[in-house]
Amino acid sequence: MQNSITQKISRSLGAILFLALCLIPLSAHARDARENARIEHLISSIEKLSGAKFIRNGNEYNPDKAGSHLRMKLEKADGKVKTAENFIDGIAAKSSTSGKTYQIRKPDGTLVTTSAYFYARLKEFDEAKSAP
């Protein structure tokens, strides 16, 4: 009887350990809520750029297409992007296929790299969140 109880406990502990080990990769790739909010702010900021154009590989796209493209790249990154800075440097700065820098043509015609644009938006966001 004692042997049977020990075997059941051993099997239960083994199952719990197995489940815990299966969940580790999920938590290792998860971004925290703060970083999700920072990244979402960046993407939505470009989607709201009325009259601007997103330049990717020599072609101009409207702000909605820019947002869709960046969201798709973020999803494909499969959890490798942990911070907003990772997002800017690894996804939003340049094409992963051609290596060409992404740009934004503002309504007044001036060009800015997406990296510079996003770092400025991120600074504003962080300052607003840390203000009393």
Lay out the sheet containing 111-113: strands in order across: 59-61, 53-56, 103-105, 111-113
Lookup: tokens for 95: 């094409």
Residue 70: the pLDDT is 98
pLDDT tens, residue by residue, 73-126 = 999 998 899 999 999 999 999 999 999 999 999 999 999 999 999 999 999 999
87: nearest Cα among 99, 98, 72: 72
Q: What is the pLDDT of residue 93?
A: 97
Question: Which token pair is 11?
Answer: 């099997």
Domain boundaries, the chain: 1-30, 31-130
pLDDT at position 25: 43
Name the most confidently modeled range: 5-9, 29-33, 47-51.
47-51
Residue 5 is predicted with a pLDDT of: 65
Q: Which residue has the higher pLDDT, 25 or 117?
A: 117
Res. 29: pLDDT tops 60? no
pTM: 0.76
From start to end of the chain, where are the E strands? 53-56, 59-61, 103-105, 111-113
Q: What per-residue confidence (pLDDT) applies to 20?
A: 41
